[in-house]
Structure 1
């Protein structure tokens, strides 16, 4: 498995992954944010590839010199294998390269179940940006 930047040819497999992993409401919100982030800065959208298949993805954004993890998704057949952690670490490197002042985790109702994943990587409750706004509003 390796992590790399999103490429245009990844669009269909990524949307299929998101449809598989996310609830319908979460999918709609994520697709809006995904499209907007691609238009702003596609280098903050990463994919995890195993056996030539996209098995995970993460969307990040930078706003007001702060890096935000927005959404991470891993195919059910590949969960609990360290892919989510690899995606988070890779995006953290991108944030550090951009010299953001702080890294935050967008903690909306859809991310609540995986906040423990971020905690296992050393993030604390004060790193969670509790927002029920969409990324387009937060980063716009």
Structure 2
């Protein structure tokens, strides 16, 4: 499994993965944020690839010197295999390379079920960013 930056050729596979994994409401919010992040900084959109198949995606953003983990999705057949952790660690490295002062986890209702994943990597409740604002507003 390899983690790399999103490429335009990944678009169809990524949108299919997001549609499969996320609820309809979450998918719509995520697609809006995904498009905005690609226009701002596509290096913060990561994909996990296994045998030319996109098995995971992570969308991050930077705002006011803070890095935000916005959304993560892993194909159901590939969950609990370390892909989510690899995506988080890869995005963390990118944040650190850019001298981000603090990393936050967007803790909206769609991310609540995976907050224990972040906790297993050493993040605490104080790292969770709870807001009713969408990424497009937060990082605008």
| TM-score relative to the length of structure 2 | 0.99
**Do the aligned residues in 2 keep the contact of 1:109 with 1:132 (CA within 8 Å)?**
no
Using the TM superposition, give the Cα deviation of residue 51 of structure 1 relative to its aligned residue in structure 2, in angstroms: 1.2
Aligned to 2:92: 92
| TM-score relative to the length of structure 1 | 0.99
Aligned to 2:11: 11
Q: Which runs of 5+ in 1 are unaligned?
A: none
Paired residues, number:
140
CA deviation string 1:88-137 (max 9, x = no partner): 00000000000000000000000000000000000000000001211001
Trace 1:23-34 onto structure 2 (pairs within 5 A): 23-34=23-34
C-alpha separation in 1, matches of 2:131 and 2:117: 18
Trace 1:88-127 onto structure 2 (pairs within 5 A): 88-127=88-127
Trace 1:5-84 onto structure 2 (pairs within 5 A): 5-84=5-84
Superposition RMSD on alpha carbons, in Å? 0.4
Q: Which runs of 5+ in 2 are unaligned?
A: none
